[in-house]
Structure 1
Amino acid sequence: MIRDKEAAAVQRLSQKEAGAYFTPDPVVSTLLRWAVRDESDRLLDPSCGDGRFIAGHRNSVGIEQDVDTLETAIARAPWALVHEGDFFAWAAETAERFECAAGNPPFIRYQSFKGDIRARALGLCARLGAGFSGLTSSWAPFLVATAGLLKPGGRMAFVVPAEIGHAPYAAPLLDYLVEHFATVHVVAVREKLFPDLSEDCWLLFADGCGGKTDEIRFSTLSRFAPSARPPRQFVRVSVLEWRSVWKRRLRPFLAADDARDLYRHVVTRGDTRRFGELASIGIGYVSGANDFFHLRPSEVDHWNIPSKFLHASVRNGRALTASRLTDAVVEKWKQADEPLYLLRLPKLNELPSAVVRYLDTDAGRIAQTAYKCRVRDPWYSVPDVQVPDFFLSYMSGVQPSLVRNDANCTCTNSVHSVRIKPDVPSKANLSSWGSDFVQLSCEIEGHPLGGGMLKLEPREATEIALPSRKTLTSLDPRPIQGAIDAMRQWRHYASVA
């Protein structure tokens, strides 16, 4: 493919947008030593970047869409056949098949992985038997499409994001691999392979293309060390157990066996409840322009905004510092002149003149252009404003906070809104929230975010296990605390706390 370099430069993504973080040489060497077993083996790198993998084997093919990076790859591996362009388009047309594949696929998020490229990728994977949602990151379809180019008995070794252990979009990849390879081995590495990348990366080995397996081998390493083969020590994760008990996640296997067995036992007890059985958990409102729609008491006085159009709001999880949010806490926010008031306007044709003047400010005209504002009618009426029974922190350091809403506040989408379901007893298992077991459940059901944070999506929060007080008093605390410490180390909280 011939392209004008100047036009290509305009279209070129940044390193972060393209997911282009080049692999350290010891990792490259390890993956190649395992994947390539004969000089005659044909090696494929579906996203060859600067050519580190194809330079390690004389019989290689690489695909790369970035012109400058492609030129570096050609210079580094002049013997290799390097194609410029979209891998998915090439994979759908090529008749060539390979004994092995290795590489580091681009970690492009679904927001950037879009348009024709995403359509081609998902269409190709569907034809191969892997159904991804539109929210998938590009690396997972990359690996399915690569597997589809292997010869019977072929193998592949790749760097993958640690999201393979918990992200819903990664489940179709693992489902595909266990149905098409005799051996699937995931190696979790706690120490970062890419120090400059916030995302953790693991390793994936798949062997015996054309076969099938009923287990996933799972190994954990504190730090990466060069090797000619995957670790000899591993847990045999039953595919049936992975799919049913652990909801297609490998992350629970970072905990020790005894803690995981105890967890399984407790969550299946008749007196244990999942949080979603007791409460509806969702995000708060989306204003579209937080700085405009949240006013300080001094601004309320300046614009003379009527109090009936104001509602005290929790803007982020940092406000959740105790087990209860009280009127006294809100009063402290007022005294500190914090932007605690949501401008909560109904869908009226006529508004008070003071409100109209505020809406007609320069800040108001800018707010109207924000996406969430311009697609609603009227633009100034923030929808889905609720007063929950509890607030639940969305991202947490030590552990998520569940805070009772005694101050009749609402909340933004930076905090989860928790509403107890009708007919649920007022203290039904919720009193166990502060226990070590529930902390462990938050670690297992949630997932890590950069900087040591634990993130709980609403669907994850519904799975938090809440045992009865009777059950809690009977549990051995040692394996539970050990598992909590281990899970926090894996999300790097222990190293930054």
Structure 2
Amino acid sequence: MRIRGGTTFTSAPLLQADIPEFCQKRSGAFFTPEDVARALVAWVDPSEPDRLLDPSCGDGQFLALHRRCVGVEQNPRSAAAAVTAAPWALVHEGDFFDWAARTSERFECAAGNPPFIRYQTFKGEKRRRALELCARQGVAFSGLTSSWAPFLVATASLLKPGGRFAFVTPAAIGHAPYAAPLLEHLVATFAAVHVVAIREKLFPFLSEDCWLLFAGGRGGTATHIDLTVVERFAPDPQRPEPTVKIALDEWRAVWGRRLRPYLLPRDVRQLYAAAAWEEDSRRLGDFASVGTGYLSGDNDFFHLRPSTAQRLGIPSAFLHPSLRSGKGIRNGAITKATVAGWTQNDEQVFLLKLGRNARLPAPVKAYLDSAAGQIARVSYKCKNREPWHVVPNVRIPEFMMSYMSGRSVKLIRNEAGVTCSNSVHALRVDDPVTARKLLPLWASPFVRLSCELEGHALGGGVLKLEPREAAQVLFPSAKASKKMSADGLEEAIGVLQRWRHYGERTN
């Protein structure tokens, strides 16, 4: 039995030719580079005397490289292709988590490429089985967990004492909160844990960056995490030497159990860590609250152009100017002149803001009952709120921040009292004195580096800063600032931008 049905990477040319692009991304019908598969198999079992498990074997690429192997595959066509590719292999067709919970088989090693199913589609009975299995191993994952992390915990549970595995993982292993429970489990149950961070994409046609993970000596306890930072993957039957030996105490206490900061040189990390411990240094969350804007449920319906509102007779009292995306964030402030420009340009940025108990004039009622309104009211968000036409969480923040950024994260004052959608962050100041002192430093090299460190790469060169990440952005004390070279900080920013492929041409 096998788990699949989500975004994993296989090497099946027949699937790649037969599945439309959208379905291809969801089913994961993509080639795994053969040299990557060959290296991972060699890392766990160079002489092939042991039994190897591939828990998501696809069309059998990993199985074809090992003569004593077992695969699990949910897709019947892929399972049949795996049998053809590796006729000596035992291939179970079905859900991996179901099979893992019932099997008594144990293996000396495992290798493969688990499904990268994001939490939005990793749900239902499959998710329940996966999280229950992990809980029995002492690992508790959050509701935002993608499938690959529970997949590896389940695989580890099937290894014999002394066993080892090697897998392709998303680069999210270096920053995602749900990766922390996985890594904690691995260092507690394996004698060696080794992550290979690769800057150049293993899959050039995907936005997803991939790293490699090895764990060996099942039943032992690791004293540190080995990290190898490389520009590109180099096929080698031997694992590369680590470039950094990560002390677990530092990884936990200083970096919040993230590996991404270790892409930077040691001296930069030390300066940043020292600044974080300075008594007068502050995190953004110490003096401000960061949240998201409203979610309308149907942006085209709930945002009107001035000309449309005038034609429909909708009073201006029911319209509120809104910053709909981070593209509207420029240095400085949103002023009344900015809003006047939106009006003059007839931009579709005026939110239909209706109170829960407000008396609605006839033109507004007519708009709600229009053909567009009939479509909007049955959208997922609208049909699940009462009344459907009242957009919740419409706030007037003091500052707004870009959610997804290119070169840098933008912060802008809201002098015009506009609201904002969930495409940008809404920042409310809790301590005005500290905010007046520190927010002018937002564009400084140190704070820009902090945004890079606390955020994460989304793909296509984009830096994504979730609210919890934005709250961790660090403003150094005056004492700490004196120890830092602006040139060194700019160089460090450039390193992290290269790792998120900012400025690179993408397909």
- Smaller-chain TM-score range? over 0.9
Q: 1:453 aligns with which of 455, 462, 474?
A: 462
Q: 1:164 aligns with which of 133, 157, 173?
A: 173
Query: After alignment, is 398-407 or 29-38 more displaced?
Result: 29-38
Show CA shifts across 1:349-391 (max 9, x none).
Answer: 6311111111111001111101111111111111111100000
Looking at structure 2, the residues matched to 180 and 471 of structure 1 have their Cα atoms a distance apart, in angstroms, of: 38
Looking at structure 2, the residues matched to 151 and 28 of structure 1 have their Cα atoms a distance apart, in angstroms, of: 22
1:153 deviates by: 0.7
Query: After alignment, is 18-27 or 65-74 more displaced?
Result: 18-27
Matched positions, count: 489
The yes-or-no answer on 1:134 pairing with 2:147 is: no
Show CA shifts across 1:387-434 (max 9, x none).
Answer: 000000000000100000011100000010001004544513112111
Query: After alignment, is 226-235 or 156-165 more displaced?
Result: 226-235
The yes-or-no answer on 1:252 pairing with 2:261 is: yes
1:496 deviates by: 3.9
Query: Which of structure 1's runs of 4+ aligned residues deviate more than 4 A?
Result: 468-471
Structure 1 unaligned blocks of 5 or more:
3-8
**What is the TM-score normalised by the length of structure 1?**
0.95
Looking at structure 1, the residues matched to 396 and 176 of structure 2 have their Cα atoms a distance apart, in angstroms, of: 30
Show CA shifts across 1:82-140 (max 9, x none).
Answer: 01000111111111111110000010111221111111111111111211123211111
SS in 2 for 1:232: coil
Show CA shifts across 1:437-470 (max 9, x none).
Answer: 0110000000001110000000000000012456
* Inter-CA distance 247–311: structure 2 relative to 1 (3 Å threshold): same
Contact 1:42–1:59, Cα closer than 8 Å, also in 2: yes
The yes-or-no answer on 1:84 pairing with 2:109 is: no
1:206 deviates by: 0.6
Contact 2:274–2:480, Cα closer than 8 Å, also in 1: no
Looking at structure 2, the residues matched to 326 and 412 of structure 1 have their Cα atoms a distance apart, in angstroms, of: 18
Counterpart in 2 of 1:482?
A: 491
1:212 deviates by: 0.3
Q: 2:41 aligns with which of 32, 40, 48?
A: 32
Looking at structure 1, the residues matched to 84 and 434 of structure 2 have their Cα atoms a distance apart, in angstroms, of: 70
1:17-416 residue pairs with structure 2 within 5 A? Answer: 17-348=26-357, 350-416=359-425
Contact 2:275–2:477, Cα closer than 8 Å, also in 1: no
Q: Match of 1:443, as an amino acid?
A: E
* Inter-CA distance 445–426: structure 2 relative to 1 (3 Å threshold): closer
Contact 2:226–2:242, Cα closer than 8 Å, also in 1: no
SS in 2 for 1:427: helix
Query: After alignment, is 348-357 or 122-131 more displaced?
Result: 348-357
Looking at structure 1, the residues matched to 203 and 36 of structure 2 have their Cα atoms a distance apart, in angstroms, of: 11
1:9-20 residue pairs with structure 2 within 5 A? Answer: 14-20=23-29
Q: Percent identity?
A: 56
Q: Match of 1:53, as an amino acid?
A: F
Q: Match of 1:298, as an amino acid?
A: S
Looking at structure 2, the residues matched to 131 and 64 of structure 1 have their Cα atoms a distance apart, in angstroms, of: 25
Looking at structure 1, the residues matched to 294 and 174 of structure 2 have their Cα atoms a distance apart, in angstroms, of: 30
Structure 2 unaligned blocks of 5 or more:
3-17
**What is the TM-score normalised by the length of structure 2?**
0.94
Query: After alignment, is 472-481 or 444-453 more displaced?
Result: 472-481
Looking at structure 2, the residues matched to 287 and 212 of structure 1 have their Cα atoms a distance apart, in angstroms, of: 49
Counterpart in 2 of 1:441?
A: 450
